[in-house]
């Protein structure tokens, strides 16, 4: 395997603005000429014009300071670790940063800390601070008397490694050559993110957490924290998460990565100081937004209404739901690093708390640790080694799983309880109080996945599992309910934490 250490980014040529304008003018003339020979006029595409104008604007910016935003949400604390971090798939971070923010006061014996985990694209800014008064993504859930009560607890929230809000990720500088990692960054796992977080806890002198709390990807991180460090864990909260990624959510994240990587501006990840892949990022976010909310909510909110019924139907955003998705994608496309989206979403796909997966990972880590000690490991060389299959996928004979109703697991294990492999893998949590919450209208992490967590923990011998499922009579907000429902989500979390 060829080592990628010291690799340089491919040559990046700025967008030829003058040539681009010339081509656009030529195309425009051709279109107008065609109109004279056609029985109908050519349709206009203002949505594409807007994207092309953005590319031209970003091209101008890239000539000076570069179009990439800072990817921060204001002031945060930073933990810099100089001890190398060996990753599950063989990569190494020789040193790394973890951006974090805190609220409340750590007590004398440091026993009141709560580690709050984020979703895929969130920063450490969960709540406003004196140095950053902007509202955080869980603003109403944190504070005096709030579910995460700062009168009682010391709340710590980090930006995960692989992210772009201050923690080390693909947009960070590789200390080996002082160039951006880009796609030389190694493949990550959820467990890798947790190990980096616990390095931070070590630096703060926190030996045991009062609780670990997380939603969505944060729900995965919370469970992984308990499995990796059960002796350092008090209570666990997993909201709208899972114990292992399932095909539907993997498929949706795959689709997002594909549209992003097909953007010519992505340049195989080496787009820094050039035009970022904002087309692909916009489309990826639109796909993601479809999975974050629910059909029933959109039926009530948008129905079949068009943005302007007085106008002719258009191929650009026309229905209200289309304009909503377009706005969501446009708002996000320059607020998050494209490579971080690729790496963090892939880490979610790889998540599996099954025992066999854990055993295989431990064996791989032991071998890689030995190679690292002997100096024979090709740093980050495992990142891009996969070849496409020799034959395309072929449809398999029909099985029982093809008849599985929607919102139910595609497995017949449910007849005999949770899979034994998962029970064994989650057995380190058998003595911990655990709150598992799900939402019936969630299509990204369906409610059966939270039921699977609760049933698996009980089958592993945990007698202190609280499982809450919010029906559609309570919430139609789908996966995003954890961001919006202070009463039902926040209320349950506050009561569980004590």
Give the catalytic positions in this structure: 216, 442, 479
- Tokens at 476, concatenated: 């139609």
Query: Coil, helix or strand for 236?
Result: strand
Q: Which residues contact 284 (CB under 8 A, 6 or more apart)?
A: 256, 257, 259, 260, 329, 341
Integer Cα distance of 205 and 199 in angstroms: 10
Instruction: Please provide the size of the chain in residues.
Output: 498
Can you say whether residue 478 is alpha, beta or left, with left for phi > 0 and alpha for psi between -120 and 50 degrees? left
Strands 209-215, 113-117: pairing is parallel
Q: Among candidates 440, 454, 456, 386, which has minimal Cα distance to 408? A: 440
Q: Which two tokens stand for residue 408?
A: 């139910």
> What is the number of other CB atoms lying within 10 angstroms of the CB of residue 85?
18
d(CA 345, CA 121): 9
Give CA 43 to chain center in angstroms.
37
DSSP-H helix ranges across 121-266: 190-203, 217-228, 247-261
CA gap 406, 395 in Å, rounded: 20
Enter the tokens of residue 202: 């070590």
CB < 8 Å & 24+ apart, contacts of 173-182:
175/94, 175/95, 176/5, 176/6, 176/94, 176/379, 177/5, 177/6, 177/8, 179/8, 179/9, 180/9, 180/270, 180/272, 182/9, 182/269, 182/270, 182/271, 182/272, 182/339
Q: CA torsion 462→247→262→268, rounded to 10°?
A: 40
Distance CA 276, CA 74 (A): 22
* Contact criterion met (CB below 8 Å) for 148 and 184: no
User: What backbone phi and psi angles, to 5 degrees, belong to 148?
Assistant: -95, 85
Q: At what angle do helices 278-292 and 247-261 cross, to 10 degrees?
A: 160
Cα distance between residue 137 and residue 165, in whole Å:
14
Give the tokens for residue 52.
């092309």
Tokens of 354: 């099954």
Angle between helices 338-349 and 278-292 (to 10 degrees): 40
């Amino acid at each position: 395997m060829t080592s990628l250490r010291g690799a340089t980014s491919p040559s990046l040529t700025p967008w030829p603005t003058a040539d681009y304008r010339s081509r656009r003018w030529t195309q425009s003339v051709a279109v107008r000429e065609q109109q004279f020979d056609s029985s109908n006029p050519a349709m206009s595409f203002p949505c594409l014009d807007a994207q092309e104008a953005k590319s031209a604007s970003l091209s101008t910016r890239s000539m000076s300071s570069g179009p990439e935003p800072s990817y921060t949400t204001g002031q945060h604390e930073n933990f810099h670790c100089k001890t190398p971090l060996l990753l599950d798939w063989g990569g190494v971070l020789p040193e790394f940063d973890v951006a974090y923010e805190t609220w409340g006061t750590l007590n004398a014996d440091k026993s009141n800390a709560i580690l709050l985990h984020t979703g895929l694209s969130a920063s450490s800014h969960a709540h406003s601070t004196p140095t950053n008064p902007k509202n955080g993504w869980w603003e109403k859930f944190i504070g005096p008397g709030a579910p995460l009560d700062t009168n009682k607890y010391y709340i710590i929230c980090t930006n995960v490694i692989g992210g772009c809000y201050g923690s080390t990720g693909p947009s960070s500088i590789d200390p080996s050559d002082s160039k951006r990692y880009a796609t030389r960054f190694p493949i990550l796992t959820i467990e890798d993110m947790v190990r980096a977080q616990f390095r931070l806890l070590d630096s703060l002198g926190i030996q045991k957490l009062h609780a670990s709390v997380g939603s969505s990807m944060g729900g995965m991180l919370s469970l992984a924290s308990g499995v990796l460090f059960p002796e350092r864990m008090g209570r666990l909260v997993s909201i709208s998460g899972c114990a292992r990624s399932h095909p539907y959510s993997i498929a949706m994240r795959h689709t997002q990565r594909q549209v992003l990587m097909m953007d010519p501006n992505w340049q195989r990840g080496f787009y820094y100081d050039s035009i970022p892949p904002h087309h692909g990022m916009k489309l990826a976010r639109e796909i993601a937004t479809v999975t974050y909310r629910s059909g029933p909510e959109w039926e009530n909110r948008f129905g079949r209404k068009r943005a302007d019924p007085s106008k002719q139907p258009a191929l650009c955003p026309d229905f209200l739901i289309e304009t909503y998705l377009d706005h969501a994608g446009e708002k996000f496309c320059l607020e998050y690093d494209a490579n971080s989206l690729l790496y963090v979403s892939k880490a979610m796909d790889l998540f599996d708390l099954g025992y066999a997966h854990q055993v295989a990972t431990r064996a791989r880590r032991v071998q890689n640790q030995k190679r690292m000690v002997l100096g024979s490991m090709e740093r980050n060389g495992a990142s891009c080694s996969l070849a496409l299959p020799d034959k395309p996928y072929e449809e398999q004979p029909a099985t029982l799983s093809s008849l599985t109703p929607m919102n139910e697991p595609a497995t017949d294990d449910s007849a005999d309880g949770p899979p034994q492999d998962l029970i064994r893998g989650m057995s380190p949590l058998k003595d911990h109080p655990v709150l598992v919450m799900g939402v019936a209208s969630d299509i990204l992490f369906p409610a059966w996945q939270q039921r699977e967590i609760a049933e698996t923990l009980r089958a592993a011998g945990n007698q202190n599992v609280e499982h809450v499922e919010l029906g559609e009579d309570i919430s139609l907000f789908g996966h995003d309910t954890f961001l919006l429902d202070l009463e039902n989500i926040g209320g349950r979390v506050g009561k569980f934490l004590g």
